[in-house]
Structure 1
Amino acid sequence: MKNIALLMLGAVALVSPLQAKAPSEQVSAADPKGIVTAMEFAGYKAVLDTDDDGDPLIKTDFGTGPGFVYFYGCDEETHDKCDAVQFVAGLDREEPMPAHMISRLVNKYRFVAIALDDEGDPWVTWDILTGEGMSTKTFVSALRLYADSLDSVADVVFAEERDKRPVNKTPVTTT
C-alpha cells in the first residue's frame, strides 16, 4: 500500500508542472497578464506592477540581474490597450563604459539597443511590437534571444573590468 501511495505521489509530481498555467497561443502587450504567463511558462520570474506613469510593468530577471518589461503605446488615461513591450536591463559597471563600445555591440547583436545612463552604465533594450497579438512561440523565442544577447553583451561589457582585477597568486595548499 505504501508503494502505491508513493507511486501516486510521484505521478502527481510529474503532472503538476504540466498543469502550470499554459499560455494562450497568442500574446499581446494589451494583455500584460498574458505576457506574465508566457514568461513564467518559459521559466522566467515575472511580477506584474505599474511604472511611474501608471502603465503596466513586469519585474523580472533575464539572468544578468534585475530586469524589466515596459509597456508602450498604452492609452494615456486608462493605461491599457498597449501595443508594444520593451525588455530592459542595466549592467552596473565599476567604471563608466566607453561610448565607442556601443557601436561594436549593437553591430554584433542585431536587435539590441544600448544607451548609457548618467553613471556610464549601459542599459540594454529590445523592443517588440505585438500589435493585436503575436504567437507565444515567437514571443518566447524573442525573450530567450534577448536574454542570450544580454548575457553576451554583459561578457563584453565586463571583460575589461575582469582583466583589470588582480589575480590571487596565493598558493593553494592541500592537507
Structure 2
Amino acid sequence: MLDKAKTRLLGVALVLASPLLAGEASAERISGKEALAVMRAMDLQPQLGTDAVGDPQIQFVIDGLHAQLNFYDCKKQDGRCGSLQLETAVDLENGTTYRVANAFNKQYRYVRMHLDDEMDPYVQYDFEVLHTDARTHLESQIEMFGKLLASFTEAVGYY
C-alpha cells in the first residue's frame, strides 16, 4: 500500500501532467474546421460538409480532379477525428479493367484502386493522424496523394 505522502505526490504528479496529456490528446486528432484551414492554405478550394452519419467531409480539387476528405474515428464531444481518407474517381468513356486495378494495387501499399459498377476507377488513401502533429501530417498526406494521383491517372489512361 502507498502511504499518504506517496499518494499525495502521485496525485500532484497526475494533476501537473494532465494539461500536458490533454494537449497531446487534442494534437493527435483533427477537426473538420482545422483540416479546412490546412486545405485552404494549400489552395485546394475546400468545401466543408458532413457525411451520412454526421462526420465531417471536405470536397476539394487537386490536380484538376474533384476529390473528398472523409473523416473516421470521430469523437462526438469535440468533433475531432483520428483517421482520414482521401478519395477521388475518374469517369472513363469505356471504364478500365480489373487487370489495371490489380496491377496498380500490387504496386502501392496504402492507396487502393476500386472499380464501380461501370468499371470506372476510384482510389482511396487511408491514414491516421494519431501521435503526430495532425495539421502538418495532413498537409504531407495531401501532397503524397497528389503524387499518387499522377500514377493513378497514368495507369487508367486519364489525361
User: Is the structural similarity TM-score above 0.5?
Assistant: yes
For residue 47 of structure 2, give the secondary structure of its aligned residue in structure 1.
strand
For residue 96 of structure 2, give the secondary structure of its aligned residue in structure 1.
coil
Residue of structure 2 equivalent to 1:15: none
Q: Percent same amino acid at aligned positions?
A: 23
How far off is 1:82 after superposition? Answer: 2.1
How far off is 1:29 after superposition? Answer: 4.7
Aligned residues of 2:50 and 2:56 also touching (Cα < 8 A): yes
Give me the CA root mean square deviation. 2.4
Amino acid at match of 1:153: F
> Which has more helix, going by share of residues?
2
Q: Distance in 2 between matches of 1:29 and 1:122?
A: 30
Residue of structure 2 equivalent to 1:140: 139
Residue of structure 1 equivalent to 2:54: 54
Runs of 4+, deviation exceeding 4 Å: 26-29
Amino acid at match of 1:128: F
Q: Distance in 2 between matches of 1:58 and 1:111?
A: 20
- 42 and 28 in structure 1: CA distance in 2 versus 1, 3 angstrom threshold: farther
How many residue pairs were aligned? 134
Q: Distance in 2 between matches of 1:82 and 1:135?
A: 10
Residue of structure 2 equivalent to 1:72: 72
Normalised to the residue count of structure 1, the TM-score between the two structures is 0.67
Residue of structure 1 equivalent to 2:36: 36
Q: Distance in 2 between matches of 1:122 and 1:98?
A: 9
1:61-85 Cα offsets, whole Å, 9 max, x none, are 121421100001124x669232111
Residue of structure 2 equivalent to 1:101: 100
**Structure 1, unaligned runs of 5 or more:** 1-25, 163-175
How far off is 1:55 after superposition? Answer: 1.1
Amino acid at match of 2:154: D
Q: Distance in 1 between matches of 2:90 and 2:78?
A: 29
**Structure 2, unaligned runs of 5 or more:** 1-25
Normalised to the residue count of structure 2, the TM-score between the two structures is 0.73
Amino acid at match of 1:111: Y
How far off is 1:31 after superposition? Answer: 1.4
Q: Distance in 1 between matches of 2:118 and 2:77?
A: 34
